[in-house]
Amino acid sequence: MKHTHLAALACCALLAGPLAVADDPSPEALAAARQVAVTTCASCHGPQGRSENPKFPRLAAQHPAYLAAQLHVFKTQGRGDPDAIAYMWGMSAPLSDELIDGLAAYYGGQKPARGIRSGAALVASGKSIYEEGVASEGIPACASCHGPDAAGTDDFPRLAGQSAQYLLKQLASFQSNMRNVAVMHGVASGLKAQEMNAVAAYLQSIGS
Amino acid sequence: MNRQHRGSTQLALAGLAIIAFAGTARAVPSFARQTGMACEACHTVFPQLTHFGRMFKANGYTLDNLKPVRGVTATRDEMLALTGLPPISLMVQASETWLARPLPDSLAAGSAQNGSVAFPQQISLFYAGKIAPQLGAFIQITYGNDTGTIGIDNADVRYANSLVLPQDRSLIYGITINNNPTVQDLWNSTPAFGFPFASTNASVSPLAATAIDGTFGQDVAGIGAYAFWNESLYAEFGAYRSAKQGATNPITGAAAPLDGTTSNVVNGVAPYYRLAWEQAWGRHSLELGVYGMDIKLYPGGSTPDAPVALTGPYNRFRDLAQDLQYQYLSDEHQVTVAATRIHEQMHLDASFASGASANAGNDLTTLRIDGTWYWRRKLGLTAALFSTTGSADAALYSADPVAPGIGVVNSATNKPDTSGWMAEVNYVPWLNVKLSLQYTAFSKFNGGGGNYDGLGRSASDNNTAYALLWFAY
């Protein structure tokens, strides 16, 4: 039953927005992307995408296809959470497809940021939710999409080592549908605040 | 208080009233239109900068997310890259000011009117944004109700470029041409963009301010080279020279060359330097820095009865300042604490020789600290302390420049000491509209607490309440 449910969710996820497939960028595009990443994106997302500010997501080691898809969604103003509107709608507007692929490859190729330690009890509780879901509330295991080690896939983002505060903000955006992704709206709507805190703490702690 | 120091010590030395635009700090919606990003990307609330705002400025105001109007050669060399929208903004300030005790009437027995309405206090037009790739500008033209005229206000034209260094560290480097020392700076702890961001022009300004503390805004022009390494270490070196507005050569009637009839002319060039380190951790950032200037001035002010050329003795002001800025920025709370200490050594060879100062040398120290807290960028509170202290000088500070028996702007103790506190409440219904209530309280003014002018006026009589409507579009 759970697997059927997840399959349906995954199907919805694939239909939720344009998930561009990143092409292999040219050396010129990679060089241009590195220049942009180091001199512009790094001001918020940190050196090589290892942000220490929880307002801005860590992009290091994120899947290039996922990053490219998000940049395309920002560019078409299809993602409506407040920070997307305030920052990324503008930032993504002039990006060419080639530069998007270059940026995605740049960040995808970086060493992941070190995780952030959290309370042991919270982490244990979060790990359980991540790996097994909350059966009583029909919440599927996060691991079934984001992978057993939260490393993500082309379609589902890497969450390992991501800041808990950032993750919680995204869950709130999914819940309110400001970030309109059907799968995550369902998950976030079912999770209690304490469960969200636990999962976020666990994910943040991976690699710490 | 920095914006109130127009009648500064230095310029008073030669009896010159400086160009009188209030010179308040700005933030402009044309940047938001150009970048496609909300004000919050660059500001806590205008004009206070976030880290990204500092980087935008260091990069020459050139980040442009609009489709450009382009021109290329047959070999695809870029000849033109005009921003899709002209980077023009308009800013309006309207205000009302109340003094704790009305000023005396300047001629008759009685008092001047209290409760001064300024509509507008200022209207400014900005060119603020990209000119061409790597070239940007922040140029402000202001109508002020104090002068009743339109003139140049703060201006900062920049060339900026960047390098990617090994280990993906960045180096931003550039050149700034500007007309107000520190207007080009990236932090809100230095004078030009420091608190208060707006202040009344209908109250009493203290006698003394250091040279670098806004005294020469729009009176000089300078060129500086800067580098910002890894978004952490900032260094700048520049030099300023007199660039008077409205001055003319008496022989030709042209705008220059300046001669002895012009007051307070920079001898040669005045070097300016700046070094700062910013460290970020989590949502916090801390900046520590030093800045300074060394300015030599010919008093000038030649008249047929007292001719003087721009040669011979000059006054020299050596300013060395330290500054600090801390920020904590979340979606709910935006906290900024800024502080600076400016120490000035004056060598007054020219003024001492002419009797305009009683001492051949004086010193002046200004200390300011302010803390601002905003809740959701909607409601803000600021508290600030300010203090200026210095050596007593019977000639420099005691004169009653308006008329004998008027007082108010002189010092009975011959001292420049002024200190007190400020509080401000802000409501920001939209990110480009601000309503402010500001209160300034003086514990000491021009050297004294009670009867500082020798005519019965107390420092607290100059306490000022100020209500401001400020918007930009």
What global pTM score does this model have? 0.92
d(C-alpha B132, C-alpha B281), whole Å: 34
SS3 state of residue B24 = coil
- Minimal Cα–Cα distance from B151 to chain A, Å? 33
- Minimal Cα–Cα distance from A187 to chain B, Å? 24
Q: Do A90 and B331 touch (CB under 8 A)?
A: no
Please say whether the structural domain B3-68+85-472 has been given the CATH code 2.120.10.30.
no
Q: Is B376 an 8 Å CB contact of chain A? A: no
Taking CA–CA distances from A36, the nearest residue in chain B reads B164
pLDDT band at residue B5 under the 50/70/90 scheme? very low
Q: Is A172 an 8 Å CB contact of chain B? A: no
Of A35, A52, A85, the CB nearest to B164: A35
Give the ipTM.
0.89
Cis bond upstream, residue B47 (ω within 30): yes
Q: Do B169 and A35 touch (CB under 8 A)?
A: no
d(C-alpha B209, C-alpha B441), whole Å: 18
Cβ–Cβ under 8 Å, residues B272 and B239: yes
Q: Do A44 and B38 touch (CB under 8 A)?
A: no
Q: Do A91 and B38 touch (CB under 8 A)?
A: no
Instruction: Catalogue the E-assigned strands of B391-463.
Output: 418-430, 433-444
d(C-alpha B24, C-alpha B128), whole Å: 16
B297: amino acid identity, one letter: L
Two tokens at A47?
A: 């050196």
Q: Which helix (H) or strand (E) holds B292?
A: strand B284-300
Please report the DSSP string for A25-47 in residue order: PPHHHHHHHHHHIIIIIHHHH-G
- State residue B10's pLDDT score: 44
Determine what percent of chain B is predicted with pLDDT higher than 90. Answer: 88
Taking CA–CA distances from B283, the nearest residue in chain A reads A53
- Minimal Cα–Cα distance from A132 to chain B, Å? 31
| Cβ contacts of B401 within 8 Å, gap of 6 or more | B12, B15, B409, B410
- The answer, yes or no, to whether residue A19 has pLDDT greater than 50, is no
Of the candidates B296, B283, B298, the one whose C-alpha atom is nearest the C-alpha of residue B331 is B283
pLDDT band at residue A78 under the 50/70/90 scheme? very high
A37: amino acid identity, one letter: A
| Cβ contacts of B228 within 8 Å, gap of 6 or more | B55, B58, B170, B171, B172, B173, B186, B234
- State residue A23's pLDDT score: 60
Q: Do B331 and A55 touch (CB under 8 A)?
A: yes
- State residue B27's pLDDT score: 65
- The answer, yes or no, to whether residue B16 has pLDDT greater than 60, is no
Q: Is A34 an 8 Å CB contact of chain B? A: yes
Q: Is B52 an 8 Å CB contact of chain A? A: yes
Mean pLDDT of chain B: 92
Q: Give the burial class of A15: count Cβ atoms within 10 A of its Cβ; 0-12 exposed, 13-18 middle, 19 or more buried.
A: exposed
Cβ–Cβ under 8 Å, residues A191 and A199: yes
- Minimal Cα–Cα distance from A143 to chain B, Å? 28
Of A38, A44, A85, the CB nearest to B170: A38
Residue listed under structure tokens 């028996």: B405
Q: Is A89 an 8 Å CB contact of chain B? A: yes
Q: Give the burial class of B253: count Cβ atoms within 10 A of its Cβ; 0-12 exposed, 13-18 middle, 19 or more buried.
A: exposed
For residue B365, what are the β-bridge partners? B343, B389
**Residue extents of the structural domains in chain B:** 3-68+85-472
Q: Do B164 and A93 touch (CB under 8 A)?
A: no
Cβ–Cβ under 8 Å, residues B14 and B299: yes
pLDDT band at residue B18 under the 50/70/90 scheme? very low
Two tokens at A36?
A: 């942009």
SS3 state of residue B12 = helix
Contacts of B37 in chain A (CB under 8 A): 86-87, 89-91
Instruction: Catalogue the E-assigned strands of B145-244.
Output: 149-165, 169-178, 220-229, 233-242
- The answer, yes or no, to whether residue A8 has pLDDT greater than 90, is no
Q: Is A42 an 8 Å CB contact of chain B? A: yes
Q: Do A53 and B67 touch (CB under 8 A)?
A: no
Cβ–Cβ under 8 Å, residues B172 and B165: no
| Cβ contacts of A172 within 8 Å, gap of 6 or more | A188
pLDDT tens column, B93-127: 999 999 999 999 999 999 999 999 999 999 999 99
Q: Is A77 an 8 Å CB contact of chain B? A: no
pLDDT tens column, B43-102: 999 999 999 999 999 999 999 988 888 899 988 888 998 888 889 999 999 999 999 999
